[in-house]
Structures are given as C-alpha cells and as structure tokens.
C-alpha cells in the first residue's frame, strides 16, 4: 500500500510540471492565433479625392453649357467643388467584399450645394474560393462603356463624353450584376489603375445583370427591369496593352413628371423604349494611348417639330488620344478628345434633344501622387432643345481648370 502511494505521489510530481508546460504552450498558441486575427476596423480601408474647378477662363459664350457634364459651366458659374468623395471598402471575408462611396458635392436644388448622397453601396459575393465568379448586389456602376466605369479620379478629360454617358446619368443604378474574370486578368485590371495607366477597374471580362433603369437615387417608376451585358478582354502585344470590348442594354424608361414642361406632349404612360449597343477599343498609355467608343440605340427625345417626347434613334462616340511622360517623379499626360453625339438625354427636362460636336485639348500634371492639375481648352458646338428652349444652338470656347487631391 505504501509502495503504491509513493508511486502515485512520484507520478503526480512528474506529470504536474509537464502539464503546466503544455498548458503554457497552449496559452501561447492561443494568444498567437488571437494576435493573427484581424480586428473589425482592420477589415476595411478608407480613401478618397476632391476636385475643385473653374470654367470661365477665356470664355467666349456664357450660354454654352452642359447640364449633365458640369453645372458650373456658363452664366453665373464660379469656383465649384465638382466631387468630394470618401470611399470605405474592404475584403471582410475570403468571399465577401464591400464598397461604400458617398459624395458630398451633390446639389439638392439650384440653390443648395454640397449635400451628402450615396454614389455606390454594394457588396460582392464570391461564388468560388478565388472569387473569379461573383455577384454584385446594391447600387453600383452599370457595365456600359469603358469611360462610364472609369473613375473620375483617373479620367483625363474633365467630363465623360455625351454619347455614352447619356445612357446612365451618374453611371449607376440599383440592381444585381454577375461578373467573371480569371485571377490573372483581375490582377491586370488592378495594376492598370495602381500603375497610373487610367484603367477602368475590375468589372470582369464578362458581366451581365438587371437593374431598375431610372438611375441612381431615384425610385423605379415602372414594372420592367433593364438588362445589361458586357464582354471585354485585355491582352499584351509587346509593351502595349490592348482591350477591346462590346456592351449593350435594353429596357423601358419612364419620364418623371417633375422633368416635364407645361404644354409638352408625351405618351400616356410616360414610358419609352431605352436600348443601346456600343463598342470600345482601349490602348493604354505606354506611353501613347487611345480610347475610342461608339454607340447606337433608341430612347426618349424631344421633337421640336411636334412639341412632343418620342422614341427616336440616337448615335455618337468619341476618340481620346494621350501620351504619358515621366520626368523624375513627376508625370505629364497631354491629351486630346473629339466627340460627337446626336440624340436625346432622358435624364434632362423633356428628354432634351442634343447635337454635340466638340474638341478638347489638355494636359494633366502630377507633381506628386497626391495632387493633380488639369488644364483643358474646349471648342464646342452644342444644340440642346426642350419645350421652352427651341432653336437653341450655342457655340464657343473656354479654358477649364481642375485641381484634384487624392488621399
């Protein structure tokens, strides 16, 4: 009995230190695992940019303007904060990504400026572990047109071209998109932006989706959804990167009653066919770059002959050429763009009728990564007519300036 008791005590004395050591190691492993876990505030990042403009230098016609481009054009225009964007984004798990972008330069009315408004609010849900297949749910850019999807933070001309931007005001709407791109192509899409090559971002090599069709921050006004599809593929030829693409959408757009003039004629249900198809060709600036897009379609447009809003044909496109020069740590990008558009703008009063011929020449200067200055001289001929303004052809030229801070 004594021998057994002594043996038990000896075993306990031997095991106790070993147990303590194992427990200590277990605690260290657990602490190490906890240290490797990201805190909630480490799962997302914050960035943004601010654009300040002045458009009145060397102006020859203060009646020349572009409502969808920049509301500070022309008569009574002054210094203007075009965009104030703060972006919250992050990969909060292996297959879930979120993106939230408010803008604080929105106009609530003609007399109220700098209101906050949602531009983007969506999440991406990866179908596979590599997120090559993903669904995007929420308010986001509609995959129609390279320049439409290209961030204004990266675009060379100060405004998007009328021909494709007239398809989707503010480029966004509420809906569900499906995107596919191989991992290598997704990495290339990311580098085209991070390397300063003016990429559009990652909208897949193939995208398809449905959305309301009344544009961002506006309620749906009919029981039909818009459908959109896009196919694009970037590839390398020597030092150059080429990206051709094709896209199209179809749906029905309902004219809001607050966009109608008294006396204008329109369909009883205010609803019009809204469809387009467009082609894109991109050669990234290495150092010479080209961006060309053209589209045709049909949509609501004011007809001065009948004083009515009708479904009419539209057509137009643009070509932007650029050349990137690196000098020490500075970047200079001279550019020129020629654009043409003939058709309606469904987002404007009475689906305003437009005929645009415009030539722009400018240069972007980046002395440091955080600051950009753009000077752009515009020579323009714009006919824009609604029920109140008929036979309204405005021609002129002006020098436009923009300072941009990136953070």
Phi, psi of 117 (to 5 degrees): -150, 145
Instruction: Label residue 278 by pLDDT band (50, 70, 90).
Output: very high
**What is the structure's pLDDT at 35?**
53
Note whether residue 188 is domain-resident.
Answer: yes
**What is the structure's pLDDT at 180?**
98
Which pLDDT tens digit goes with each residue over 14-43?
Answer: 444 544 454 455 555 444 555 567 776 788
**What is the structure's pLDDT at 36?**
62
The residue range of the domain holding 300 is: 46-406
DSSP element (H, E) containing 45: strand 45-57
Express as a percent the part of the chain with pLDDT over 70: 90
Note whether residue 20 is domain-resident.
Answer: no
**What is the structure's pLDDT at 22?**
41
Buried-exposed string 317-355: b where 16+ CB fall within 10 A, e elsewhere: bbbbbbebeeeeeebebebbbbbbbbbbbbbbbbbbbbb
Note whether residue 10 is domain-resident.
Answer: no
Which pLDDT tens digit goes with each residue over 52-92?
Answer: 999 999 999 999 999 999 989 999 999 999 999 999 999 99
The owner of tokens 């593929």 is 233
Domains held by the chain: number: 1
Which of 201, 278, 274, 289 minimizes the C-alpha distance to 242? 289
Note whether residue 155 is domain-resident.
Answer: yes
Note whether residue 203 is domain-resident.
Answer: yes
Which pLDDT tens digit goes with each residue over 322-376?
Answer: 999 999 999 999 999 999 999 999 999 999 999 999 999 999 999 999 999 999 9
Q: Residue 223: is its pLDDT beyond 80?
A: yes
Distance of alpha carbon 313 from alpha carbon 191, whole angstroms:
38
**What is the structure's pLDDT at 101?**
97
**What is the structure's pLDDT at 15?**
43
Which pLDDT tens digit goes with each residue over 98-119?
Answer: 999 999 998 876 677 888 999 9
Q: What is the mean pLDDT of the chain?
A: 92
Distance of alpha carbon 133 from alpha carbon 93, whole angstroms:
16
More confident position, 272 or 109: 272
Q: Residue 243: is its pLDDT beyond 90?
A: yes
The owner of tokens 């290495």 is 286
DSSP element (H, E) containing 295: strand 288-303
Note whether residue 277 is domain-resident.
Answer: yes
Distances in Å between the Cα of 293 and the Cα atoms of 126, 132, 307 are: 30, 27, 31
**What is the structure's pLDDT at 310?**
98
Note whether residue 345 is domain-resident.
Answer: yes
Q: Residue 388: is its pLDDT beyond 70?
A: yes
- CATH at 291: 2.40.160.10
Which of 304, 395, 394, 305 minimizes the C-alpha distance to 351? 304
**What is the structure's pLDDT at 4?**
45
Length of the chain: 407
Task: Calculate mean pLDDT across residues 389-396.
Answer: 96
Note whether residue 371 is domain-resident.
Answer: yes
Buried-exposed string 49-78: b where 16+ CB fall within 10 A, e elsewhere: bbbbbebbeebeeeebbbebbbebbbeebe
Task: Calculate mean pLDDT across residues 205-218.
Answer: 96
Distance of alpha carbon 234 from alpha carbon 243, whole angstroms:
4
**What is the structure's pLDDT at 112?**
78
Task: Calculate mean pLDDT across residues 220-238.
Answer: 97
Distance of alpha carbon 311 from alpha carbon 305, whole angstroms:
14
- Residue 130: which region, alpha, beta or left (left: phi > 0; alpha: psi -120 to 50)? alpha
């Amino acid at each position: 009995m004594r021998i057994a008791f002594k043996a038990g005590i000896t075993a306990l004395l031997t095991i106790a230190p070993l147990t303590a050591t194992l427990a200590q190691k277990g605690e260290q492993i657990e602490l190490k695992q906890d240290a490797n876990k990201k805190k909630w505030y480490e799962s997302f990042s914050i960035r943004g940019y601010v654009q300040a403009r002045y458009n009145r230098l060397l102006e020859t016609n203060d009646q020349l303007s572009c409502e969808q481009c920049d509301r500070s054009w022309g008569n009574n225009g002054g210094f203007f904060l075009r965009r104030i964007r703060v972006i919250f984004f992050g990969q909060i798990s292996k297959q879930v990504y979120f993106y939230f972008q408010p803008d604080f330069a929105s106009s609530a009315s003609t007399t109220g400026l700098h209101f906050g408004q949602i531009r983007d609010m969506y999440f991406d849900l990866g179908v596979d572990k590599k997120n090559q297949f993903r669904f995007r749910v929420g308010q986001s850019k509609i995959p129609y047109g390279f320049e439409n999807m290209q961030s204004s933070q990266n675009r060379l001309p100060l405004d998007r071209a009328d021909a494709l931007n007239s398809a989707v005001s503010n480029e966004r709407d509420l809906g569900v998109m499906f995107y596919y791109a191989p991992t290598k192509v997704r990495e290339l899409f990311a580098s085209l932006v991070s390397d300063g090559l003016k990429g559009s971002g990652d909208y897949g090599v193939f995208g398809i989706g449905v959305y309301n069709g009344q544009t961002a921050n506006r309620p749906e006004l009919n029981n039909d959804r818009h459908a959109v599809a896009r196919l694009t593929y970037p590839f390398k030829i020597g030092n150059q990167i080429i990206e051709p693409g094709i896209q199209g959408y179809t749906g029905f757009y309902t004219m809001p009653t607050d966009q109608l003039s008294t006396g204008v004629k329109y369909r009883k249900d205010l609803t019009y066919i809204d469809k387009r198809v467009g082609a894109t060709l991109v050669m990234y600036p290495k150092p010479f770059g080209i961006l060309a897009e053209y589209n045709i379609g049909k949509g609501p447009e004011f007809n001065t002959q009948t004083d009515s809003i009708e479904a009419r044909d539209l057509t137009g496109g643009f070509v932007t050429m650029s050349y990137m020069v690196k000098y020490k740590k500075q970047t200079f990008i001279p550019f020129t763009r020629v654009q043409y558009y003939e058709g309606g703008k469904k987002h404007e009063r009475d689906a305003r009728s437009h005929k645009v011929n415009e030539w722009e020449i400018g240069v972007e200067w980046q002395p440091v990564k955080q600051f950009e200055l753009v000077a752009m001289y515009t020579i323009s001929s714009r006919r824009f007519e609604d029920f109140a303004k008929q036979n309204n052809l405005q021609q002129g030229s002006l020098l436009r300036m923009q300072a941009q801070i990136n953070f």
